[in-house]
Amino acid sequence: MKSLPETLPDETNALQKMVLDYQSTVDQLQEKLKWYEEQFCLFQHQRFGASSEKCPDQMELFRNVHEITS
């Protein structure tokens, strides 16, 4: 990441170039942040979302346990 120089140039063109360079850096970092946020959401969904290992007869197991204990 770019750091600010100790002194700023007096020329308008040089200042405009610096602003454009910093804006480009900001845009790149925003894109990276967006990608990381999407990855985080994807991993959260994979970890805590609906499981693909569901068995259609799972509820029957709970009914059987309930019948046995009742």
pLDDT in tens, the chain (70 residues): 677 778 889 999 999 999 999 999 999 999 999 999 999 999 998 888 876 556 666 667 666 666 676 6
The pTM score is 0.60
Token pair of 50 as six digits: 């609906």
Distance CA 8, CA 69 (A): 79
CB 52 within 8 A of CB 45: no
CB 33 within 8 A of CB 10: no
